[in-house]
Structure 1
Amino acid sequence: MGILSWIVMGLLAGALAKWIMPGKDPGGIIVTILIGIVGALIGGFLAGLLGIGEGRAVDFDLGSLILAVIGALILLWLYRKVAGRPA
């Protein structure tokens, strides 16, 4: 995927993660995109460890989006635990 695809995937994944796990978090759209992009990396890594993917999000498809959202949810949960905010 190109950089623009990663940004769009990150925005979608971060927005879906924040929709699934609502709460007050600092930051706006940039933080949401970053959570989504890093979430895609985490989701792809975990999928590779479990043997259900290539270990990375290579295509802009539903499977990659689901992996990115799962990774973003994990990242958002960890962020809230470290920051001391309720999850």
Structure 2
Amino acid sequence: MTIESILGAIVIGAVVGAIGRLLIPGRQAIGWILTIVVGIVAALIGTFIAQAMNVSNTAGIDWIELVMQVVLAVIGVGLVAGLRRGRGSRL
């Protein structure tokens, strides 16, 4: 991996995480740093799934891959927010 691909993954992950967080209704009990981390992980997993399905190399923007990444970010942000909310209510 080059430094450009790492920085690209961070930027795309931040955007994907923010979109995923915005698509969940209500307030989430996680900060922006954790949202970015979830977005980066979702972007990486979405890319691997898209490559496995052979839909990652299309002309122009890879919409299918992007949708996979955002859906995974929504799921990830929801899970992390739910786990943090559950942990906070027990204290």
Q: Indicate whether the TM-score tops 0.5.
A: yes
Spell out structure 1 runs of 4+ moving beyond 4 A: 45-49
Alignment partners' CA distance in 2, 1:5 and 1:45: 16
Name the counterpart of 1:43.
Answer: 46
> Match for residue 14 of structure 2?
11
Identity value in percent: 37
Deviation for aligned residue 1:31: 1.6
- Give structure 2 stretches of 5+ with no counterpart: none
The residue type paired with residue 68 of structure 1 is: Q
Offset at residue 35 of structure 1 (A) = 1.0
Give the letter for the 1:38 counterpart: V
1:1-87 mapped onto 2 (5 Å cutoff):
2-22=5-25, 23-28=27-32, 30-47=33-50, 51=53, 53=55, 61-83=62-84, 84=86
Structure 1 residues 24 and 81 mapped into 2: Cα distance closer, same or farther (>3 Å)? closer
- RMSD over aligned CA atoms reads 2.8
Aligned to 1:57: none
Runs of 5+ in structure 1 lacking a partner?
A: 55-59
Alignment partners' CA distance in 2, 1:46 and 1:64: 8
Aligned length: 79
TM-score by length of 1: 0.65
> Which structure has the larger Rg over C-alpha atoms?
2
In the TM superposition, residue 66 of structure 1 has moved relative to its aligned partner by: 1.8
Q: Distance in 1 between matches of 2:6 and 2:28?
A: 28
Distance 1:42 1:74 in 2: 12
SS of alignment partner, residue 31 of structure 1:
helix
Aligned CA distance change for structure 1 residues 31 and 81 (closer, same or farther; 3 Å): closer
